[in-house]
């Protein structure tokens, strides 16, 4: 996955959803921190869709303890030919936590895999300038800078869309979204402003973040909006 164009990922903890995702997804996001036996799942995977692997630590809203094993699991996952991208937290790459996330980024590059550098805010959305700053830092560490904030108002979504447009216009690859009910529509609209990655569960009951549409719905919404432009 090079994210040169909008890429819709089926976000999941179960690679068994792959056949059901093929019609609408360009790839899968496997959330190792949510999954049962994720590395065994990868060993058994014979699906068609490429995989981005994520192992979100508890200090960034995930369920993975911040141990050396968290990053080692990502390195092991990268040995699978179906794994063509890895998500690493900006905070980890800038020194948070106790372990060397840069080692995983190097392993990804050695294998020709993409590095998505992510940052999240589960409470609010910063102003446009702060979003631009944080995404620029993220882009400096990888192939795509990703920010998922929580919108409390339409103004928050406007800030995220404006930052998305501004950075895309300068040639940066970003993926942006606003979580929560107030931000939900950003998931369909941000791709029109340059966001490169969308995340959606096959089954809405299996959402990996607040405000996600199900996969088929998001594919339809993005497709309709993009055909209108």
Ligand X SMILES: O=C1C[C@@](O)(C(=O)O)C[C@@H](O)[C@@H]1O
State both tokens at 183.
């931000």
Cα-Cα end-to-end distance for the chain: 25
Determine if residue 208 is labeled as part of a ligand binding site. yes
Q: Which of 99, 120, 141, 185 is catalytic?
A: 120
Structure tokens, 145: 């800078």
Residue 30 in contact with ligand X, rule: CB under 6 A: no
Q: Kindly report the backbone phi and psi dihedral angles of residue 141, in degrees, each rounded to the nearest multiple of 5, phi listed first.
A: -105, -5
- Cα 183 from chain centroid? 16
Our answer to whether residue 141 is catalytic in this structure is no
Query: Which of residues 11 and 228 has its CB atom nearest to ligand X in the complex?
Result: 11
Q: Is 134 in the site for ligand X (CB under 6 A)?
A: no
Least distance CB 163 / ligand X (angstroms): 16
8 A C-beta contact, residue 213 and residue 187: yes
Whether 120 sits among the annotated catalytic residues: the reply is yes
Residue closer to ligand X (CB basis): 86 or 177: 177
Report DSSP letters for 120-178, one per residue. Answer: E-SS----HHHHHHHHHHHHTTSSEEEEEEE-SSHHHHHHHHHHHHHHHHTT--EEEEE
Nearer to ligand X, 52 or 107 (CB): 52
Stretch that binds ligand X, among 65-73, 130-138, 162-170, 204-212 (CB under 6 A): 204-212
Residues 49-88 binding ligand X (CB under 6 A) are 54, 87
Nearest residue by C-beta to ligand X?
A: 209
Residues lying near ligand X in the complex (CB under 6 A): 11, 29, 31, 54, 87, 118, 148, 177, 179, 199, 208-209, 212
Active site residues: 120, 146
């Amino acid at each position: 996955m090079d994210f040169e164009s909008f890429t819709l990922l089926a976000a999941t903890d179960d690679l068994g959803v792959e056949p059901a995702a093929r019609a609408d997804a360009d790839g899968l996001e496997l959330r190792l921190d949510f999954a049962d036996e994720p590395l065994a799942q990868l060993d058994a995977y014979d699906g068609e869709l490429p995989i981005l692997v994520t192992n979100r630590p508890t200090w960034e809203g995930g369920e993975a303890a911040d141990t050396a094993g968290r990053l080692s699991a990502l390195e092991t996952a990268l040995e699978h030919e179906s794994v063509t991208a890895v998500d690493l937290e900006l905070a980890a790459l800038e020194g948070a936590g106790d372990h060397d996330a840069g080692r995983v980024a190097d392993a990804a590059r050695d294998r020709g895999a993409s590095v998505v550098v992510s940052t999240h805010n589960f409470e609010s959305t910063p102003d446009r300038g702060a979003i631009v700053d944080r995404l620029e830092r993220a882009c400096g560490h990888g192939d795509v800078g990703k920010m998922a904030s929580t919108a409390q108002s339409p103004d928050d979504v406007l800030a995220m869309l404006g930052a998305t447009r501004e950075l895309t216009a300068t040639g940066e690859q970003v993926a942006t979204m606003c979580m929560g009910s107030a931000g939900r529509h950003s998931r369909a609209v941000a791709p029109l402003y340059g966001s490169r990655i969308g995340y959606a569960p096959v089954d809405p009951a299996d959402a990996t973040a607040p405000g996600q549409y199900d996969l088929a719905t998001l594919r339809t919404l993005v497709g309709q909006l993009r055909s209108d432009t």
